[in-house]
Amino acid sequence: MKKKIFKAAVIGLGVGMHHIKALESHPNCIVKKVYDFDKSKILKFKKKYPKIEFVKNEEQIFLDDEINIVSIASYDNFHFSQIINCIKNKKNIIVEKPICLTQKQLISINKKLKNSKIKITSNLVLRTTSLFKKIKKKISKKKIISIEADYLWGRLYKLYQWRSKIRDYSIIHGCAIHIIDLVLWLIDKRPIKVYAKGNNLGINSKKFKKNSYVIIILKFSDNLIVKVTANASAIYPHFHEVKIFSENSTIIHNLQGSFELNSKKKIKIIESKYPDKQNRLNVIHSFIDNLKNKYNKSIVNKKDIFDSMSISLAAEKSLKSDREIKIKYEN
């Protein structure tokens, strides 16, 4: 039996380089075309990937009937229009978070996907981390009292690059959404309300005029409360810090390590890989496997993406209005 080969294209040569690596390393996929508006990046990577065609505009990707998958790794403000173009031209979609920047855009994407056979995934990669998989298993039968989870960006210089030039750039959509998705995946439930506050202390406000720190309170129907932060301005390594409090134990993951504290206050080390970056390509691999066979589940599916995006958009609305927002889910 002839092996099915999917032909992919990548838009964006920043984080898109990781997409190329993941796509090319799958036995059923090759990267046919790549687009980036930065000619210097194209010149740099042409020698590394001589078999890939570096095209002059993204339309050459959308109009290519041979391409089955488009991987969108462009700036946040381009994602919506590129997703719409993918759906219009019957391309399955891999997209960096966030998939869009407004509720109206999310509704539009959802409507168009429902009327098509196109599949979508996104880089919500924390759920591939071995440590978080082990923690998920540990808490599966526990009654959770509260969770505190922080996205510590540790790369302040990135705020002053393209993110400072986008009118609607959001630290919630760019950072906190990873932690939001992690929480949803760990406890397998969705919050009903959200409240958010932020500031831009500790940064050059002339270079970056938006919030660089946001705290988000998620409220669930069973009275569970989860605190999520996105902190881009702290002097800190890039890190995902988590505390999970249950009736009989506390699980902590911080710079000192990962461990569980039981009711007798005895500490047990949790030995597992973090950040476990080599597993992140499994998001893309599982998506291709799902395209091959619908019974192979994607690690990140449409519902996962829309749930985290719905919360992220509600949190951004709360931040701007300074009031608690009821979350409207599009799935």
pLDDT at 152 over 70: yes
DSSP 258: E
Q: What percent of the chain has pLDDT over 90?
A: 91
> For the whole model, what pTM was predicted?
0.96
Residues 283, 66, 13, 92, Cα dihedral to 10°: -40
Residue predicted with more confidence, 140 or 39? 140
DSSP 174: I
pLDDT at 261 over 80: yes
User: What would you report as the CA-atom Rg of the chain, rounded to the nearest whole angstrom?
Assistant: 20
- CA–CA gap between residue 205 and residue 136 (Å, rounded): 39
Local confidence band at 271 (pLDDT 50, 70, 90 cut-offs): very high
* Amino acid identity at 23: L
Report pLDDT digits (tens) over 163-180.
999 988 999 999 999 999
pLDDT at 196 over 70: yes
Report pLDDT digits (tens) over 2-23.
678 999 999 999 999 999 999 9
C-alpha torsion sign, points 108, 110, 115, 116? positive
Structure tokens at 45: 């990577």
- CA–CA gap between residue 326 and residue 273 (Å, rounded): 36
Asked if 158 contacts 183 with a C-beta cutoff of 8 angstroms, the reply is: no
